[in-house]
């Protein structure tokens, strides 16, 4: 049976995080993940996870000044102190809630200096924790100017650093928007994948919409030997509960 994780950045995002965790459990999810949980006391998240028996699969480092359009700090030259403070905060929070992974957000940057800074900050993060450090390419339509754009770029960084707990966040939505050929890309990169996420292409709705054929993708994921929950990171086209028919269908 395919298992799924509720991304609480998009699902039940009208609820406080502890209540969203309980809603995910009640709806049949096997795990949860989030974006930026830092305004919620970690003890409340930990209590909700223990109550429901769900695992927190991951969280993101802070984006920086969101009002100024920032979307991560770790590839920004001259911002290393802020980037590492964001990494330290994410590790502290992940330790408190026993999150499996931390997505280190690169931010909007370009060029060789950004590449060098990103690698230095990733090495710092990976050295500070045994938890999985994830990097995720974001498509140019949703995140113009983001440093990490493709799986080819991401896999090159992972190969260059050769750090055992640095992995790729393979988001079928972003790959579908930027590169296409999702199953082939996933198959080729499978050995460095640390987490898989899903949403429809092109509108990031529930995965029984759009142009990607998720039954085929789920079959390929299973054949590759993936046994962990797959992250449902989509924007419901209404109340979350009304968008979950796809999950009960595919879980069978």
Which pLDDT tens digit goes with each residue over 199-252? 999 999 999 999 999 999 999 999 999 999 999 999 999 999 999 999 988 765
Q: What is the pLDDT of residue 214?
A: 96
DSSP E strand stretches across 95-138: 101-103, 132-135
Span 160-164, mean pLDDT? 98
User: Which candidate, 19, 4, 28, 27, places its Cα nearest to that of 51?
Assistant: 19
Share of the chain above pLDDT 70, in %: 99
**DSSP helix/strand/coil, 34:** coil
Q: What is the pLDDT of residue 249?
A: 81
67-109 residue pLDDT tens: 999 999 999 999 999 999 999 999 999 999 999 999 999 999 9
| Distances in whole angstroms, Cα of residue 16 to Cα of each of 8, 21, 231 | 10, 9, 20
pLDDT averaged over every residue in the chain? 97
Q: What is the pLDDT of residue 251?
A: 65
Share of the chain above pLDDT 90, in %: 97
Question: Among 44, 51, 136, 149, which one carries the catalytic annotation?
Answer: 136
Q: What is the pLDDT of residue 1?
A: 75
149 is catalytic: no
233 is catalytic: yes
Which residues have a Cβ under 8 Å from the Cβ of 33 and sit 6 or more positions away?
5, 6, 7, 8, 9, 56, 57, 58, 59, 195, 231, 233
């Amino acid at each position: 049976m395919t298992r799924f994780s509720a991304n609480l950045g998009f699902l039940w995002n009208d609820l406080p995080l502890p209540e969203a965790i309980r809603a995910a459990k009640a709806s049949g999810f096997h795990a949860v993940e989030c974006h930026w949980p830092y305004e919620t006391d970690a003890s409340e998240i930990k209590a909700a996870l223990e109550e429901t028996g769900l695992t927190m699969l991951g969280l993101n480092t802070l984006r920086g000044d969101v009002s100024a359009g920032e979307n991560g700090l770790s590839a920004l030259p001259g911002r290393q102190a802020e980037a590492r403070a964001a990494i330290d905060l994410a590790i502290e929070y992940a330790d408190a809630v026993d999150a499996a992974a931390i997505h280190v957000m690169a931010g909007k940057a370009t060029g060789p200096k950004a590449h060098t800074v990103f690698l230095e900050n990733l090495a710092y993060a990976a050295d500070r924790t045994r938890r999985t450090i994830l990097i995720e390419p974001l498509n140019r339509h949703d995140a113009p100017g983001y440093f990490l754009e493709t799986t080819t770029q991401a896999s090159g960084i992972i190969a260059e650093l050769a750090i055992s707990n640095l992995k790729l966040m393979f988001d079928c939505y972003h790959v579908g928007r930027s590169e296409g050929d999702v199953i082939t890309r996933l198959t080729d990169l499978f050995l460095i994948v640390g987490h898989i996420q899903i949403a429809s292409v092109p509108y990031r709705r529930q995965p029984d919409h759009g142009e990607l054929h998720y039954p085929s993708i789920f079959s390929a994921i299973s054949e590759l030997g993936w046994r962990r929950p797959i992250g449902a990171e989509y924007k419901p086209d209404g109340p979350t509960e009304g968008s979950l028919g796809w999950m009960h269908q595919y879980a069978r």
